[in-house]
Amino acid sequence: MSVVSSVCCYCGTGCGVLIESDARKITGVRGDPAHPANFGKLCTKGSTLALSAQASGRALYPELRADKASPRQRVSWDAALDHAAEQFAAIIREHGPDAVGFYISGQLLTEDYYVFNKLAKGLIGTNNVDTNSRLCMSSAVAGYKATLGADAPPGCYDDIDHAGTLFITGSNTAFAHPILFRRIEAARRANPEQKLIVVDPRRTDTAVEADLHLAILPGTDVALYHAMLNVMLWEELIDRDYIAAHTDGWEKLRETVREYTPEKVATICGVAAADIVQAARWFAAGPTLSMYCQGLNQSTCGVDKNATLINLHLATGNIGKPGAAPLSLTGQPNAMGGREVGGMAHLLSAHRDMANPEHRAEVARLWGVDSVPATPGKTAIELFEAVRKGEIKALWISCTNPAQSLPNQKLVQEALQAAEFVVVQEAFADTETGQFADLLLPAASWGESEGTMTNSERRISRMRAAVPPPGEARPDCRAVVEFAWKLGEQLGRDGKRLFPYTCPEDVFNEHRESTRGRDLDITGLSYAMLDAGPQQWPLPQGATTGKPRLYEDGVFPTGQGRAHFYNAPYRPTAELINAPFPLHLNTGRLRDQWHGMSRTGLVSRLYAHVEEPLLSMNSQDMQRRQLHDGELVRVKSRRGSLVIKVQASEELRGGQTFIPMHWGGRFMAGMGVNALTLDAFDPVSKQPELKHAAVQVEKVTLPYRRTIMRRGEGATLLRLAQPYIGRFDYASVGLTGRDNTVLVFETASVGPLPESLVQEMDAAFGLDDPLLTMNYQDARRGIWKKARVEDGMITGARLSGETAARDWLKNLIAEGASAMAVRNWLLAPVEQPPEGQVGRGRVVCNCLNVAAPDIVAAIAGGADLAALQGTLKCGTECGSCVPELKRMIATHRAVT
Ligand code: SF4
């Protein structure tokens, strides 16, 4: 067995991992105790990386289709890249460089990002290269630049320990950055005086831990920050010396915030004025560390939200010292690296400005090209709109799934259908976007490629390959470099001179040189130095270590050295609720799933936390609509609709609903939550308002329910379900089980299905062999059930017309129960399992496999959290389930 150190590929916390492997397979993953982002800890997603690495469902060979109507056929890499180069070159020759575009990803390595950026801006001469970071971080980028002068998070994770107040706003850190949240819990245990303020419309697991939770109405953040500044002014809590010495723009802002009294803003935000006052006092007392994420960024006034939050830091001098900083949490693992190399439509390498002719000339000189284009390229939403209109004819998509993740999916999918030529460079074969690929290029995935990544605290780590990629999959960087050589030949440009790299380190060294003299200067850094451990930027030549905190001297990279106060009025959400659309829809992350589930969706145990897509709704709103848990509703926005199960949630205030961002058209009927979201975007950052839409919710009557359950390999089973999902008004597909995987495919329709469809689906899921299936049919009532039994074990079932046994049956299939013991109940309409066959129930602690019934029984016996951790050990490994354990204690104590 060999062990290499690397980094987790999910969130921007950037946890270090140790990958164990034999010659060809990743066999285990554990936290790296030496990595300063996590000191050996991993959350549920990180700790199951080895399982997702072993899953099938990978894209293995290049595949090309002759025309849109034909299926793709396997081709060689040479043929694939030749074809891509010919297509791109022909379009560029006929329509110009802006007729092609690249849509890349915050999950790419920095070296991948660098070559994509140089390919578009240097070789082709278009700035049409944008990334899914546009959906994630671009408002944070613009907020930093507008106030502090550079896209540079000034704080670090150590500040969590030094802070007197933690101000978490627009972030469910407990779910989205779990290991940072563990660090927050530890800091609070060590310093009980530390205050935690959480601003979030929902009472999330993060908010439950707060000393003060401000459950503001969606989108009202700017009004809240202005009101806090108003209180600070009124109560003389501002740092006048700091303002005078290090900032400008204060007078104008002061005039603006005078209008935002706590009383007035209490009405706008829907919170008590006294709570605004309290938040202002604790913030000003400091040292204060703000942590924020998509709640601020994914908004049509995302830049205003970011920048007016930074106002509070500048006004109170809460920046540039231990425990005091505005620390934007990056959603993706390497959104920061992408920003460093300028891999977006409006950025240039090493934080240079596209609008600055000197900066453009510097980049052109570094790359050895005559010039780089001056006009910003199309950003994510604009890019797909341009594809839809035919302005962009060839699109290269790498490491991202826009047919799931972009808002207003109807338009996005129209665009992908309309494109002349779509290249999809992907590790996983079955993503929603894959179906639109004219050319599919198989990509190496996590644990299979080399490079670097930068986390939320500017810390660069080495990503290492532990095993070779499967099939003919290749690292993205290598594929892009070879494409650049071929495209260069086609266009009569010297691609080999521009892309002379033989390995990712060559690319890193060129990127390093581009940072010389810039705010993110890493000319003192090398792969050899990173081999000794990760480092934060800046790290200029001669330095031996990076810089944990920026702006300690109060000098900002704004030209004049002063930070700018940002003066913006509060603006409401782009879409307002009204009589036809009376409810707010909020979207967000779950703890155990990642983005569009192309990786986490293959690991059955990651469904234990939340097993299916649900609309969460306040219980009184449900009562008013006579809705009950588990019933189907149609959620409708101005763009589309979705049929989904509803569940009551006391996390939400009245008038608000929530759907997780993860489930797309591969896991549910319709196009997922982004059938509902809107593509309006911030005028500066161009980041869309994924966080809010106005919706209506109405009960749907689809009485004929069916559930197919089948044991097997996750990716294979999910693929079997794909042809059928879109044939139902309601369909949900997921996995369950721990040591064994079971597909659960649930549908609902107005009445029984046509016989031909029933037979086709039975055959697809292996439920058609009369020698292996038990059968129960009541034709008069439309009930028809089947169970597949192999070697005395239940391995599958189909319940049609009556599905009461669904939950216990799926558990027994996952646990490999004997068919003999449950034979008489197998096809009966009973919600409770037969005696002695209770099953383990839902697993709450994924790391140590502790199930809910055992936890509930221990709580009934008087156990508190310490006792649960002592006896059952739940919550003692990654700690992600601790908030849920606390909730269970509160609930079941109240009941007993
Ligand atoms: Fe990965 Fe979890 Fe760490 Fe994020 S917090 S980097 S998902 S292990």
Give me ligand 1 centre to Cα 885, in Å: 20
Residue 681: DSSP 8-state: B
Atom of ligand 1 nearest to the CA of 17: 8
Nearest to 788 by CA among 731, 858, 710: 710
Q: How far is the CA of 179 from the centre of ligand 1 (A)?
A: 6
Residue closest to 742 by CA, chosen among 714, 707, 766: 714
Q: In what order do the strands lie in the sheet with 26-31?
A: 2-7, 16-21, 26-31
Q: Given this model, what pLDDT does residue 55 score? A: 73
Cβ(10) to ligand 1 under 6 A?
yes
3-state SS assignment for residue 29: strand
- pLDDT for 838 equals 64
Tell me the best of 29, 42, 184, 329 to mutate to test the pocket of ligand 1, counting ligand atoms within 8 Å of each CB and taking the most.
Answer: 42
CA 28 / ligand 1 centre spacing (Å):
16
Pairing of strands 583-588, 656-660: parallel
- In sequence order, which ranges of 11-118 are alpha helices (DSSP H)? 44-47, 49-54, 77-95, 110-118
pLDDT in tens, 644-689: 999 999 999 999 999 999 999 999 999 999 999 999 999 999 999 9
Find the 10 Cα to ligand 1 centroid distance in Å: 6
- Ligand 1: atom nearest CA of 44 is 2
Q: For residue 47, give the ligand 1 atom closest to its CA.
A: 8
As a whole number of angstroms, the distance between CA 891 and CA 887 comes to 6
Q: What is the DSSP string of 600-633?
A: GGG-GGGGSS--S-EEEE-HHHHHHTT--TT-EE
Ligand 1 centroid, distance to 688 Cα (angstroms)? 25
What is the spatial distance between Cα 690 and Cα 670, in angstroms, rounded to a whole number? 18
d(CA 177, ligand 1 centre) in Å: 6
Atom 4, ligand 1: residue with shortest CA distance: 11
Q: How far apart are the CA of 850 and the centre of ligand 1, in A?
A: 21
Q: Report which ligand 1 atom has the smallest distance to the Cα of 11.
A: 4
Of the candidates 367, 413, 372, 418, the one whose C-alpha atom is nearest the C-alpha of residue 393 is: 418
pLDDT at position 883: 85
Write down the pLDDT at residue 786: 92
Sign of CA dihedral 715, 719, 720, 726: positive
Encoded tokens for 29: 């993953």
CA–centroid distance, residue 153 to ligand 1 (Å): 19
Q: Which residues lie closer than 8 Å to 683 by C-beta, 6 or more apart? A: 300
864 and 575 in contact (C-beta within 8 Å)?
Answer: no
Condensed to tens digits (0 to 9), the pLDDT of residues 175-219 reads 999 999 999 999 999 999 999 999 999 999 999 999 999 999 999
Q: Ligand 1, from 9, 30, 38, 591: best to mutate by most atoms within 8 Å of Cβ?
A: 38
Pocket flag, ligand 1, residue 45 (CB < 6 Å)? yes
Ligand 1 lined by 708 (C-beta under 6 Å): no
Q: Is 177 in the pocket of ligand 1 (CB under 6 A)?
A: yes
- For residue 3, what are the CA distances in angstroms to 25, 37, 65, 557? 12, 19, 40, 42
Side chain identity, residue 105:
S
In the prediction, which pLDDT does 837 show? 66
Q: Determine whether the shortest distance from the Cβ of 11 to ligand 1 is under 6 A.
A: yes
| Any atom of ligand 1 within 6 Å of the Cβ of 6 | no
Query: Which atom of ligand 1 is least distant from the CA of 43?
Result: 2
Residue of 7, 10, 32 with the most ligand 1 atoms within 8 Å of its CB, for mutation: 10
* Cβ 260 under 6 angstroms from ligand 1: no
Residue with tokens 């469904």: 607
Q: How far apart are CA 306 and CA 297, in angstroms?
A: 7
Q: How far is the CA of 14 from the centre of ligand 1 (A)?
A: 6
Rounded distance from Cα 110 to ligand 1 centre (Å): 18
> Which ligand 1 atom is the nearest neighbour of the CA of 178?
5
* 8 Å CB contact between 180 and 165: no
Binning the chain into helix, strand and coil, the percentages to the nearest 5 are 35, 20, 45
- Whether 15 is in the pocket of ligand 1, judged by its Cβ within 6 Å, is yes
Shortest-distance Cα residue to atom 2 of ligand 1: 43
Helix and strand tally (H, E) in the chain? 33, 36
Q: What is the pTM of this model?
A: 0.95
Q: Give distance in angstroms: CA of 847 to centre of ligand 1.
A: 14
Which protein residue has the closest C-alpha to ligand 1 atom 3?
15
Ligand 1 contact, 13 CB (< 6 A): yes
| 46 within ligand 1 shell (Cβ under 6 A) | yes
Quick count: other Cβ atoms within 10 Å of Cβ 188? 17
Buried b (16+ CB within 10 A) or exposed e, 163-179: bbbbbbbbbbbbbbbbb
From the CA of 183, how far away is ligand 1's center (Å)? 12
| Phi-psi group of 123: left, alpha or beta (phi > 0 → left; psi -120 to 50 → alpha; rest → beta) | alpha
Query: Does 42 contact ligand 1 (Cβ within 6 A)?
Result: yes
Specify the residue for token string 């294979």.
716
CA distance readout (Å), 93 to 86, 88, 89, 124, 490: 10, 9, 6, 11, 10
CA of 8 to the centre of ligand 1 (A): 6
pLDDT at 683: 97
Nearest to 638 by CA among 605, 677, 611, 599: 677
What is the Å distance from ligand 1's center to 44 Cα? 8
Query: What distance in Å separates the CA atoms of residue 519 and residue 536, rounded to the nearest whole number?
Result: 12
Give CA separation, 206 vs 160, 199, 265, 630, in Å.
15, 10, 24, 26
* Angstrom distance (rounded) from CA 715 to CA 12: 26
- Ligand 1 site, residue 845, Cβ cutoff 6 A: no
Say what the pLDDT of residue 830 is: 81
Would you tell me how many other CB atoms lie within 10 Å of the CB of residue 310? Answer: 28
CB 49, CB 29: distance < 8 Å? yes
Q: If you measure from the C-alpha of residue 786 to the centroid of ligand 1, how many angstroms do you get, rounded to a whole number?
A: 41
Is any atom of ligand 1 closer than 6 Å to the C-beta of 49? no
Instruction: Give yes or no for residue 643 CB within 6 A of ligand 1.
Output: no
Mean pLDDT for back-to-back runs of 10 residues, the chain (896 residues): 95 97 92 97 95 90 95 98 98 98 96 97 97 94 97 97 98 96 96 98 96 98 98 98 98 97 98 98 97 97 98 98 97 91 92 95 96 96 98 97 96 97 96 97 97 97 96 97 98 96 97 96 98 97 96 96 98 97 96 93 93 96 96 98 97 97 95 95 97 97 96 95 95 94 97 93 95 89 91 93 91 86 78 73 86 90 91 88 88 68
Distance of CA 316 from the midpoint of ligand 1 (Å): 32
Ligand 1 centroid to Cα of residue 45, in Å, is 7
Atom of ligand 1 at shortest range from CA of 13:
6
For ligand 1, whether the C-beta of 179 sits within 6 Å is yes
Distance 178 CA to ligand 1 centre (A): 7
Q: Which atom of ligand 1 is nearest to the CA of 594?
A: 7
Q: Which residues pair with 73 in a beta bridge?
A: 64
**Each residue of 124-154: b (16+ CB within 10 Å) or e?**
bbbbbbbbbbbbbbbbbbbbbbbbbbbbbbb
**Ligand 1 centre from 724 Cα, in Å?**
34
Ligand 1 and 669: CB distance under 6 A: no
Buried/exposed code over 204-237 (b: 16+ C-beta within 10 A; e: otherwise):
bbbbebbebbbbbbbbbbbbbbbbbbbbbbeeeb
Residue 14 CA, closest ligand 1 atom number = 6
- Please state the atom number of ligand 1 nearest to the C-alpha of residue 41: 8
Q: Which atom of ligand 1 lies nearest, measured to the CA of 177?
A: 5
Length of the chain: 896
Our answer on whether the CB atom of 43 is closer than 6 Å to any ligand 1 atom is: yes
Residue 218 C-alpha to ligand 1 middle, in angstroms? 27
Residue to substitute in 19, 45, 136, 603 for testing ligand 1 pocket (most ligand atoms within 8 angstroms of CB)? 45
DSSP structure class, residue 73: E
Distance from residue 878's CA to the centre of ligand 1 (Å)? 10
Rounded to the nearest angstrom, the distance between the alpha carbon of 38 and the centre of ligand 1 is: 9
Q: Which pLDDT does position 894 carry in this prediction?
A: 59
